[in-house]
Amino acid sequence: MKRTGHDHQARGWLPFLRHYLEMIAAMLVGMAVFGMLIRGGLALAGLEFPARHPELLILEMAFDMTAGMTLWMRYRGHAWPATAEMAASMIVPALALLPLLWLDVLSGGTAMLLEHVLMLPLMLLVMLRRREEYGGPDHV
């Protein structure tokens, strides 16, 4: 059976999609593992995580997800420039939302939700910029 260009192109996007989903999984693992380490470390030191400060929760969440994703990208063999771009796509939304939180334009919960909602398309844009590196077809 003869394969069409469309079949080749669709198969070319599967590694790209797999990589995107792997990075989301790495972020989730990072949230769980690094969140537990941070809170556990604070507890061992006799301190409590200052949950009454939503900006700290937002920054900690961004750190946890970025750390997990960075470790996964380096394990997968990505160079530091691509890894730094991806990390920025996750940190920048958190930093951009902080002034809106401080000005009471957003609640802590809304800012946290927006942080997660904004970082996913930003990650996708970074991946599209370097689609050959992330497994997408180079002729798209």
Is the residue at 100 inside a domain?
yes
Is the residue at 114 inside a domain?
yes
Q: Give residue 52's domain range.
A: 8-129
Conformational region of residue 19, where left means phi above 0, alpha means psi within -120 to 50, and beta covers everything else: alpha
Q: What pLDDT was estimated at residue 139?
A: 35
Q: What pLDDT was estimated at residue 140?
A: 38
Average pLDDT, the chain: 88
Gap between the Cα atoms of 51 and 39, Å rounded: 11
Please say if the pLDDT value at position 130 is more than 60: yes
Structural domains in the chain (count): 1
Q: What pLDDT was estimated at residue 135?
A: 78
Q: State pTM to two decimals.
A: 0.82
pLDDT digits (tens, 9 = 90+) for 61-113: 999 999 999 999 999 999 999 999 999 999 999 999 999 999 999 999 999 99
